[in-house]
Amino acid sequence: MSTHALHGNARHFGGKLEKTIGDAVDSRDWKVAGVTDQVAGSAEHLFGRAQSVAGEVEDATPSLIEEARERIGDATDRSVAAARRVQAQVNQAKAEFVQTKNEAVAKAEQAADAAAGASAKTSFLLVLALLVGAGASAFGATAQRHRS
């Protein structure tokens, strides 16, 4: 307890005593002086307590600052680790997307080549069918003439 707190307590107690004497002898001056000393003693006691609390805070501040630094450092480390994990997941998803896209393009090219090949075969078969049809017509016309 600080000297101000002790002195304030003593002054407050003295003020109580002074007021009690004033009450006993019916002296207004003693009563007023007693109440004044009580109020002043209480104020000085509170000032002393405030000094004590301020000293305790001052003593505790370095450890609180160090603890805050450690907690901030830990939170920063966790945030960096989480960001790295997210970046790795993004990179993996990007690589999978590129691979899937490349596979789709390759399949589309294969399908286009197959369609082009089928189209060429279809064209050849149509030409062949026309030739066969024309040959058959000509054969049929020739056969008709020989029968008549």
Helix runs in the chain, H state only: 3-25, 28-147
- The per-residue pLDDT for range 7-64, each reduced to its tens digit, is 888 988 999 999 899 999 998 899 899 999 999 988 988 888 888 888 887 787 888 7
Residues in the chain: 148
Measured in whole angstroms, the distance separating CA 39 from the mean position of its chain's CA atoms is 54
- Output the six-digit token pair for 134: 């024309």
Q: What is the structure's pLDDT at 38?
A: 92
State the Cα–Cα distance between residues 43 and 31, nearest whole angstrom: 18
Name the residue type at position 5.
Answer: A
Residue in 42, 36, 39, 49 with CA at minimum distance from that of residue 3: 49
Taking the complete model, does pTM exceed 0.75, yes or no? no
Burial (Cβ within 10 Å: 0-12, 13-18, ≥19) of residue 122: exposed
pLDDT digit string (tens) for 103-137?
998 988 888 888 777 777 777 777 777 777 766 66
- Joined tokens for residue 126: 């149509």
